[in-house]
Amino acid sequence: MTAETRTPPRAATEAQERQAVRADLATARRALATGALRTADVLAALPEPQHRSPGQRAEAEQAKESARLLRHTFLGAHADAVYDELTDGRTRHLKLAEVAGLAALRFPGLAPTPEQLAERTRPQAAKEGHEIDQGILFHHLLGSPTAGAHLIDAMLTPTPRALALLPEYTRTGVADLGSVRIERSGGVSRVTMCRDDCLNAEDGRQVDDMETAVDLALLDPQTQVGLVRGGVMTHPRYAGRRVFSAGINLKSLYAGGISLVDFLLRRELGYLHKLLRGVLVEDGTGWRSRTVEKPWVAAVDGFAIGGGAQLLLVFDQVIAAADAFLSLPAAQEGIVPGASNFRLRHSGGTRLARRLVLAGEKIRAAEPDARFLVDQVVEPEAMDEAVEHGLARLRGSAVVANRRMLNLAEEPVDEFRRYMAEFALQQSLRLYADDVLDKVGRFSARSEAASG
């Protein structure tokens, strides 16, 4: 018996498909679609994920692993060609969700369809994990120096919502976006996070509002500097006090409401990166800078936990109340804390980064190590005055040019792109890891007990 006849038919078929997806794009496209359809048929014949037996779960995982290897192989050979087709030869700036949606339409089997993504309404443990396929897609697109650089630029363009609101904001200097308010006074656009229902814990709604506010501040011609601060809370424990941010909304995460593309990737490549790089306003045909940049101050009252602490790493000046604290508990929650692993090496060095990220160490603003994350610490009653002084210091005529050069030196765009390529994959895998799903189950049980 030859080796060929001993090869199981399914394994032989999959090996042939992996070879085919490396061929010319037309052949590869057909092979990709065929392999994805076979996996979809396997999953359709099984019960919903939360009702599968151990054997059925193993069968589902084997089928999904086969399809994901096929996508990975296909993109390894054709990532630039795919992106060029989706963006008409890189003549269009498409946001992440637009890229993912078009990829699903034009390259069947490459990315989850809208019908597959409808599982977002389910609890995390009841999903197939189609977002992992989006993680594979953006791992390859961002990993390409050509496609990735263009996608990074696309995410720096203003949102349609901000462009629609800009004339009114320019005229009045006020916009209430829902979870965020922005108000201009004395050349300062003051962005206030005001989700007192959850202590400014971020979800998709707040990410959208924050990006809109950042765009407005950057595009507004009367704004010289921006400020981000938490609003006054009504929560019983913090009533009447300002709070900066409680990080990611864990209730939304465990309920399946935190999206890889619309939250975790959009947040990093959208408003956080805009705080650092500015907003892209033209196509690069001129000789001046392609972005509008402005300096930013963060004022930390209460605490900056998780995503709140991540935010601080892109500000030009951070002022904290002496009783505030900072922490990055993402590893304990089972996920990756955005670009913090990348940026902390510059601000605090690798040893502090490991203590914060791997051990979840909490640092109080008054402690010596806080100097790596905070520029100035003042008593709570002196915060308002310190913030105004900090804003005044960043209004110098050469501030914007120098912050641009500092940011280029500390965080080269290409290094950021490569980090985000790996982040897209690793974060998508973490969302569906066993330990995260176990936390989901325990969180759901506690929620049900509390409501009962």
Q: Is 272 part of any domain?
A: yes
Residues 338-347 have pLDDT tens digits of 999 999 988 8
Residues 242-274 have pLDDT tens digits of 999 999 888 887 777 889 999 999 999 999 999
Domain count, the chain: 2
Structural domain span for residue 362: 160-411
- Give me the pLDDT at residue 333, please: 84
Q: Would you say 273 and 293 are in contact if contact means Cβ atoms under 8 Å apart?
A: no
Q: Is 115 part of any domain?
A: yes
Same domain, 221 and 140: no
233 DSSP 8-state letter = B
Lowest-pLDDT range of 227-231, 369-373, 426-430, 435-439: 435-439
Same domain, 165 and 147: no
Q: Is 92 part of any domain?
A: yes
Q: Is 338 helix (H, G, I), strand (E, B) or coil?
A: coil
Mean pLDDT of the chain: 92
Residues 80-110 have pLDDT tens digits of 999 999 999 999 999 999 999 999 999 999 9
Cα 24 from Cα 8, distance rounded (Å) = 27
Please say if the pLDDT value at position 2 is more than 80. Answer: no
- Give me the pLDDT at residue 297, please: 98
Cα 151 from Cα 148, distance rounded (Å) = 5
Please say if the pLDDT value at position 399 is more than 50. Answer: yes
Residues 165-188 have pLDDT tens digits of 999 999 999 999 999 999 999 999
- Give me the pLDDT at residue 330, please: 84
The alpha carbons of the chain give a radius of gyration, in whole angstroms, of 23
Same domain, 177 and 134: no
Q: Is 432 part of any domain?
A: no
Please say if the pLDDT value at position 451 is more than 80. Answer: no
Which of 6-15, 111-120, 387-396: highest mean pLDDT? 387-396
Same domain, 188 and 242: yes
Q: Please report which confidence band the pLDDT of residue 235 belongs to, taking 50, 70 and 90 as the band edges.
A: confident
Q: What is the mean pLDDT of residues 356-382?
A: 94
- What CATH number is associated with residue 131? 1.20.58.1300
Q: Would you say 283 and 210 are in contact if contact means Cβ atoms under 8 Å apart?
A: no
Q: Please report which confidence band the pLDDT of residue 416 belongs to, taking 50, 70 and 90 as the band edges.
A: very high
- Give me the pLDDT at residue 14, please: 80
Q: Please report which confidence band the pLDDT of residue 443 belongs to, taking 50, 70 and 90 as the band edges.
A: low
Q: What is the mean pLDDT of residues 143-147?
A: 98
Cα 279 from Cα 269, distance rounded (Å) = 11
Same domain, 350 and 444: no
Cα 171 from Cα 183, distance rounded (Å) = 11
- Give me the pLDDT at residue 17, please: 86
Q: Is 378 part of any domain?
A: yes
Same domain, 203 and 101: no
Same domain, 250 and 357: yes
Same domain, 144 and 187: no
Same domain, 355 and 405: yes
Q: Please report which confidence band the pLDDT of residue 283 belongs to, taking 50, 70 and 90 as the band edges.
A: low
Q: Please report which confidence band the pLDDT of residue 289 belongs to, taking 50, 70 and 90 as the band edges.
A: confident
Q: Is 420 part of any domain?
A: no
How do 180-185 and 174-176 pair as beta strands? antiparallel
Q: What is the mean pLDDT of residues 339-356?
A: 90
- What CATH number is associated with residue 394? 3.90.226.10
Q: Is 75 part of any domain?
A: yes
- Give me the pLDDT at residue 121, please: 76
Q: Is 1 part of any domain?
A: no
Same domain, 261 and 282: yes
Please say if the pLDDT value at position 6 is more than 60. Answer: no
Nearest residue to 67 (alpha-carbon basis) of 31, 100, 103: 31
Nearest residue to 24 (alpha-carbon basis) of 81, 70, 71: 81
* Distance set, CA 51 to CA 66, 119, 204 (Å): 22, 15, 29
Same domain, 149 and 187: no
